[in-house]
Amino acid sequence: MRNILMVEDDSTIAFAVKYAVEQERFNLEIAENLEEARKTISKQKYDIVLLDVMLPDGNGYDFLKEIKRINEDLPVIFLTACDEEVNIVMGLDIGADDYITKPFRVRELISRINAVLRRNGKSQSDNKKVLKFGDLSIHTLEARVFKNGEEVLLTSAEYKLLLILIQNENTVLSRNKILEKLWDVTYDFINDNTLSVYIKRLREKIEDDSSKPKYIITVRGLGYKWNGSGQSDNTK
């Protein structure tokens, strides 16, 4: 049974989520504020944390940084009403594995919890090589990416998106297909805006000029494709 810590001051939401996830054989504990969450997480081992942004005694962004200093491998999903792009970008940039906005559907939440847990617990036995594309090298065994010899820090979602594109090199993938592969669930459960954020942030990290991408190419009206040569592409 997987253990979940939910940091949420809205008891109605918290207990609704608790009931739903425990039907799926999860054990969920609730902390109503950061002080309680700090005490709880110091005593108990958790497999994943569901974290609100606005809490009575602080904000979730700061607490995420605390969590990562203690255990950088502990997955965290933001579950919050803050749905502006700047909030999503901030949450993902500081290390969140996913960002779900309220109101949400419980089936979506459970699917995305499972997807994050699969990504973090996935065996890497079949990833034993270094993939090279121009100035990029992807060390799949270690899940690390380098550009011109310097490491590029990606969130787990950004890294999986990168691998999906690479594994389908020179093949146009629709947004729906990427979302299905990225979350291992149907498109109905996914906030399409989040994919736009991931594409934007990934381009900013691996492209020389994110406004003129050479690797992640937009195919108008169809989707995206990975241009492994890194050479000029006129599809956009």
pLDDT in tens, 96-146: 989 999 988 888 899 989 888 887 764 333 444 788 888 999 988 788 899
Residues 6+ apart with CB under 8 A from 178: 161, 164, 165, 195, 223, 224
Q: What is the predicted pLDDT for the residue at 122?
A: 45
Residues 6+ apart with CB under 8 A from 115: 98, 183, 184, 185
CA–CA gap between residue 168 and residue 227 (Å, rounded): 10
Partnered with residue 98 across adjacent β-strands are 77
6-20 per-position pLDDT tens digit: 999 999 999 999 999
DSSP state of 47: S
- What pLDDT band is residue 34 in, cutting at 50, 70 and 90? very high
- The pair of structure tokens assigned to 155 is 């969130």
208-235 per-position pLDDT tens digit: 999 999 999 999 989 999 998 776 554 4
Residues 6+ apart with CB under 8 A from 116: 48, 75, 77, 97, 98, 156
Q: What pTM was estimated for this model as a whole? A: 0.57
